[in-house]
Amino acid sequence: MRRRRLTARGWGCLLVGILLAVAANVVGARPLLYLGVLLILLPLVSMLVAYLPRRRGDVSRVISTDLLAVGETSRVSMRFDLYAPGIPYGTWRDTLPDAVRGDASGDYPAESALLRYDLEGVRRGISTLGPLVLRTVDPFGLAQREQEFGDTRTITVVPQVLTLPPLPSKVGAAGGAAQTRSSRLGQGTDNLIPRPYTSGDSRRRIHWRATAHRGDLMVRQEEEESSPDAVVVLDRSAARWDRPGEAPDAAFEAAVTLCASAALRFVQDGYSVDVVDSAGGLLGALRGHEDDRDGLMVALATVTPRGEPRDIRAVVGSNPPGPLVVITGRMDEADATRLSTAGAAAPMLFAAGAEDGALEAAAAHGWNTAALDPAGDLVAAWTDALPQAKVPGA
């Protein structure tokens, strides 16, 4: 929307001047004509005062958080250096995208060239801040001028991460921290770390050189290589979700939030985690590095429903994981019956639009299930789907 060059006061002054000029001609009063001409010329002169000065400015922004999460607040520090004859008076505002909200405006000139405001993430995605808009008025307040200064700055709003409770001990141990170290060793590597023999280990895995060196039976770990220790599958196939519109799909947003939260929960528990979509595309691989986390969050910031799903066994691969989390949308009983756990030690299924009997059918095939309510408590849904540790001898 293009802002008018005259303020309401300016338009009023111009209108009164025109009326006085007309009235002067009607009644033949020359003083009214002089006054009318003055009121007509005054807004025009004010526009020249506002628009003739040449101005240029430099804007630099610093955001306290590189990746802003939904619901998180960050501080923006913006330095604005304006080069202009004289000091114009008015207001400034920074242009904000729909992904964030905040009071990014103030009076100009401010106390210093450093302008600050707070931002809150409201919608995940990659968007831009800026440009800075400076609105100034002439000394009489009749004319106004808006100018844009500086470049834009990219801001990434990532999904919210919830604090989820861990899996019970001994559940999904096949993908636990003990195997996380060994899973990063390829077969035939030179830096194998033999471990002591334990009851149940195959004698074919005995590491004879290490056994001779230490005097105790030692076994090789390269055969414990697994891919991976934990898997989180975000079913983003288009058939499971509503078509994307101007407003985000609350169910899909809840699914993305749970996906990010589950992956980071497993990392905290010592798992090596792969996050994939329903077509087998890798969204992120978490191996304990901060860059891995940031890469996953950026990928989830832009993920949308699309494509067709594949069989879960093809997505997971031939080596069964420990924990397996599948997050999906619409699901009927037939879909649930066909959904394989892929041999996972701790399979968990979350559905945002399960029909009657779907979750029960999945539970009958070994899944630990929970309904995903966008308006509900996602932490409670996670807790409901946590597998129970088996009691020895039970």
Q: How far is residue 26 CA from its own chain's centroid?
A: 67
> What mean pLDDT comes out for the span 202-227?
62
**pLDDT exceeds cutoff 60 at 1:** no
Position 330 confidence tier, pLDDT thresholds 50, 70, 90:
very high
> CA triplet 236, 157, 167: central angle to 5 degrees?
60
Query: How many other C-beta atoms are found inside a 10 Å radius of the C-beta of residue 228?
Result: 25
Question: What backbone phi and psi angles, to 5 degrees, belong to 268?
Answer: -60, -30
Summarize pLDDT for 248-260 with one digit per residue, the tens: 899 999 999 999 9
Type of residue at 316:
V
- pLDDT the model gives residue 190: 41
The C-alpha atoms of residue 153 and residue 133 are separated, in whole angstroms, by 14
Q: Are 156 and 128 a contacting pair, CB within 8 Å?
A: no
Report the percent of the chain where pLDDT is more than 90: 62
Exposure on the CB side of residue 102, measured as CA atoms within 13 A = 23
The C-alpha atoms of residue 144 and residue 135 are separated, in whole angstroms, by 7
- pLDDT the model gives residue 386: 92
Q: Which long-range contacts (CB under 8 A, 24 or more apart) does 286-290 make?
A: 287/184
Q: Is 282 helix (H, G, I), strand (E, B) or coil?
A: strand
Work out the mean pLDDT of the chain and round it to a whole number: 86
Report the percent of the chain where pLDDT is more than 70: 86
231 CB contacts (<8 Å, ≥6 apart)? Answer: 273, 274, 275, 276, 315, 316, 321, 323, 324, 325, 344
Beta strands across the sheet bearing 132-137: 105-108, 89-94, 132-137, 144-149
The C-alpha atoms of residue 345 and residue 367 are separated, in whole angstroms, by 10
Residue with tokens 């639009």: 353
Summarize pLDDT for 275-306 with one digit per residue, the tens: 999 999 999 999 877 788 999 999 999 999 99
- pLDDT the model gives residue 351: 96
- pLDDT the model gives residue 123: 94
- pLDDT the model gives residue 2: 56
Summarize pLDDT for 307-320 with one digit per residue, the tens: 888 899 888 887 88
- pLDDT the model gives residue 394: 41
- pLDDT the model gives residue 266: 94
- pLDDT the model gives residue 276: 95
> What mean pLDDT comes out for the span 347-371?
95
* DSSP per-residue codes, 202-217: -GGGB-HHHHHHHSS-
Q: Are 302 and 284 a contacting pair, CB within 8 Å?
A: no
Exposure on the CB side of residue 378, measured as CA atoms within 13 A = 24
- pLDDT the model gives residue 331: 93
**pLDDT exceeds cutoff 50 at 188:** no
Backbone φ/ψ region at 62: left (φ over 0), alpha (ψ -120 to 50), beta: beta
- Say which residue, 377 or 170, is predicted with more confidence: 377
- pLDDT the model gives residue 137: 92
